[in-house]
């Protein structure tokens, strides 16, 4: 062989390398099959490499180790913008139910917010003029069945205990939650009321087509700004144990105060009076609650989890997802097929005689209300021995909603058509 070295000055040095010696290993094949020299040489070289690695040879001595291509990342060249990265990813065979007649092999193209199925050959079609391969990702076949992929270092319960705020001006009088004590640590099946608020980092970019329809060029980018978890049982039921405002270095273009309750300065560590923390810290708390097996109660949780970057999943693979049986969403509990979704404000007025979300939204109030609605759902569904009884309740709800135009009456003298007791701990708080 010849080794060529190119110096910074531009000169090239060529020298002959040492001779590479391999012991030829002939196949011990009693079938009488003939092997050409190239096959014998390949077997000999591979044998020598396995010998160097030791354990790898012992692991695979009874078979061939096969790796499957699972993803490719390519650099799309563009002289004006510098280009962008595009991913082709092969999802699991059970990722979704394949429609009849679909022939693609579970490969998907991920191009910014565009996701579409592609043929498997497209994932490995490269062109150095505009589509340059950057990453080829292989996974050992049958890896999941041969190795224990359980998390070795689970998140500890200490993440839920008291922590210091990043805000410099926060005082104890501004604290809106009481951290869990060691004897209050959640167990599998415990209820936790959850609500999240968001702000907008980038506005949506869209254009109107000639036919009057709107085409989205770039969707709006949302960021989680506040996450609240309240106790779902026990003597302190309804009292929050997490109320984190998420510090962000990104520029916020719209705080959505009317819908989120977040005001300018709430996320700034220099001037905020809130309990300010990092996104990673709050993620660890949610991840611990998911892993421990609590059941989250909220209104519109699927959307909240999606923006938080946790996907609701039907299955048992918990390392990145939220199992569906751990999500109790009141927006679906009080919903009739092919009918509109009902707001938390209207449900609270109709079933609980509560008027919430007056001027702005408050995540503590929303999380408590969702818990109370879930209790009401259990009460209504258990009282009726037949499904038709609860169906009548929903039918009355939708009839009232249409008459009221789904608006809660503003005058103080007008009350809800339903009465329901509120949590004593909420009243005490």
- For the residues 293-308, what does the mean pLDDT come to? 90
Q: Domain ranges for the chain, please list them.
A: 1-52, 67-152, 176-204+219-404
pLDDT higher than 80, residue 59: no
- The pTM of the full predicted model, rounded to 2 decimals, is 0.65
Model pLDDT, residue 82: 83
Cross-strand bridge partners of residue 76: 84, 131
* Distance from chain centroid for Cα 82: 29
- Among 3.10.129.10, 1.10.10.10, 3.30.420.10, 3.20.20.70, what is the CATH number of 176-204+219-404? 3.30.420.10
- Of residues 331, 336, 333, 280, the one with CA closest to residue 309: 280
Model pLDDT, residue 120: 85
- Given pLDDT bands bounded at 50, 70 and 90, which one contains residue 46? low
3-state secondary structure of 305: helix
Cβ–Cβ < 8 Å for 197, 361: yes
Tell me how far apart the alpha carbons of residues 116 and 106 are, in angstroms, rounded to a whole number: 10
Tell me how far apart the alpha carbons of residues 415 and 408 are, in angstroms, rounded to a whole number: 10
Sole residue written with tokens 């009874």: 62
Question: What number of other Cβ atoms are within 10 A of residue 366's Cβ?
Answer: 26
Question: Between 128 and 33, whose confidence is greater?
Answer: 128
pLDDT digits (tens, 9 = 90+) for 194-208: 999 999 988 888 888
């Amino acid at each position: 062989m010849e080794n060529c070295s190119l110096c910074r000055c531009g000169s090239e040095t060529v020298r002959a390398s040492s001779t590479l010696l391999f012991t030829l290993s002939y196949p011990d094949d009693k079938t009488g099959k003939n092997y050409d020299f190239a096959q014998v040489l390949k077997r000999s070289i591979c044998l020598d490499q396995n010998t160097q690695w030791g354990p790898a040879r012992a692991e695979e001595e009874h078979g061939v180790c096969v790796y499957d291509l699972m993803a490719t990342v390519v650099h799309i060249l563009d002289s004006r913008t510098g280009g962008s990265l595009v991913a082709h990813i092969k999802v699991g065979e059970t990722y979704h139910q394949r429609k009849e007649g679909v022939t693609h092999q579970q490969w998907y193209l991920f191009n910014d917010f565009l996701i579409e199925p592609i043929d498997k050959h497209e994932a490995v079609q490269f062109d150095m003029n505009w589509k340059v391969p950057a990453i080829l990702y292989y996974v050992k076949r049958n890896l999941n069945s041969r190795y224990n992929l359980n998390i070795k270092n689970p998140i500890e319960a200490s993440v839920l205990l008291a922590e210091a705020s990043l805000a410099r001006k926060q005082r104890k009088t501004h604290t809106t939650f009481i951290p869990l004590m060691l004897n209050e640590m959640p167990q599998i099946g415990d209820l936790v009321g959850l609500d999240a608020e968001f702000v907008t980092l980038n506005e949506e970019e869209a254009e109107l087509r000639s036919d009057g329809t709107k085409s989205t060029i770039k969707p709006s980018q949302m960021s989680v700004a506040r996450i609240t978890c309240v106790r779902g049982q026990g003597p302190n039921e309804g009292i929050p144990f997490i109320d984190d405002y998420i510090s962000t270095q990104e520029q916020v273009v719209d705080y959505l105060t009317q819908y989120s309750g977040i005001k300018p300065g709430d996320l700034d560590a220099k001037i905020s009076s809130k309990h300010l923390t990092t996104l990673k810290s709050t993620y660890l708390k949610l991840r611990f609650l998911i892993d421990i097996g609590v059941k989250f109660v909220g209104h519109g949780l699927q959307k909240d989890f999606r923006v938080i970057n946790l996907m609701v999943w039907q299955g048992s693979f918990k390392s990145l997802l939220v199992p569906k049986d751990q999500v109790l969403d009141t927006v679906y509990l009080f919903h009739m097929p092919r009918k509109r979704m009902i707001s938390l404000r209207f449900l609270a007025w109709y079933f609980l005689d509560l008027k919430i979300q007056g001027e702005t939204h408050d995540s503590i109030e929303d999380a408590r209300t969702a818990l109370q609605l879930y209790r009401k759902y259990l009460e209504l569904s258990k009282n009726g021995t037949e499904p038709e009884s609860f169906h009548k309740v929903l039918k009355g709800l939708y009839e009232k909603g249409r008459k009221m135009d789904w608006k809660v009456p503003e005058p103080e003298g007008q009350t809800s058509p339903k009465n329901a007791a509120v949590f004593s701990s909420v009243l005490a708080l």
